[in-house]
Amino acid sequence: WESLGHWSQGLKVSMQDPKLQVYKDDKVVVIKDKYPKARYHWLVLPWISIASLKIVREEHLELLQHMHTIGEKMLRGCPDAKKLQFRMGYHAIPSMSHIHLHVISQDFDSPCLKNKKHWNSFNTEYFLNSEDVIKMVEKDGKVTVQDGASELLKLPLKCHVCKQLQSTLPQLKEHLKKHME
């Protein structure tokens, strides 16, 4: 068991912080990601402790659906929802313990997006779409993460819009501006 002092437990601390909370109900809380990887980056967290997707079973289905619904609610309230694309999903192997649904705009315009691992965690199959996770649990009663998922973080940098390869993150960020015009 890791103490709350360990950085991987940080979400458990952040989710209790009223300054970070943007929505809460009896099942979930939504916080702004402390290190957002895009202009809009929220995390939807259940109050009950579920360490990872590996533990998710059929009895969590309703909760996953509720998390998705709340993610959609965040988008409806977002002033830029019309002009930005968004995705909702989970990291295959998250660095932080306690499952959390990422609701993230696809501009990836953020100083906190600093390396290939950050980029690939949202732009390869490492990022599991919320709908796909729900379908997996409906069909199989569990979430299957592909073997070698962590290898996906090492893939070459590729633009998520036009699929063009970029050799460095600064080049990729510069390239992304073309798609944002």
Q: For 52-95, give the DSSP string.
A: -GGG-BGGGHHHHHHHHHHHHHHHHT-TTTTTS-EEEEEESS-S
Q: Output the pLDDT for position 180.
A: 82
DSSP 15: T
Q: Output the pLDDT for position 13.
A: 82
Closest C-alpha to 39, from 97, 95, 113: 113
Q: Output the pLDDT for position 4.
A: 46
The Cα 140–Cα 161 span in angstroms is: 32
Residues in the chain predicted with pLDDT less than 50, given as ranges, are 1-4, 7
The catalytic residue among 60, 91, 100, 102 is: 100
Exposed e or buried b for every residue in 67-105, given b needs 16+ CB within 10 A?
Answer: bbebbeebbeebeeeeebebbbbbbbebebbbbbbbbbb
pLDDT tens figures, 27-46: 999 999 989 999 999 999 99
Question: Could you confirm whether 100 is annotated as catalytic?
Answer: yes
The Cα 28–Cα 164 span in angstroms is: 38
Q: Output the pLDDT for position 98.
A: 85
Q: Output the pLDDT for position 8.
A: 53
Q: Output the pLDDT for position 1.
A: 37
Closest C-alpha to 30, from 40, 44, 16, 18: 44
Q: Output the pLDDT for position 146.
A: 86
Exposed e or buried b for every residue in 116-137, given b needs 16+ CB within 10 A?
Answer: eebbbbbbbebbbebeebbebb
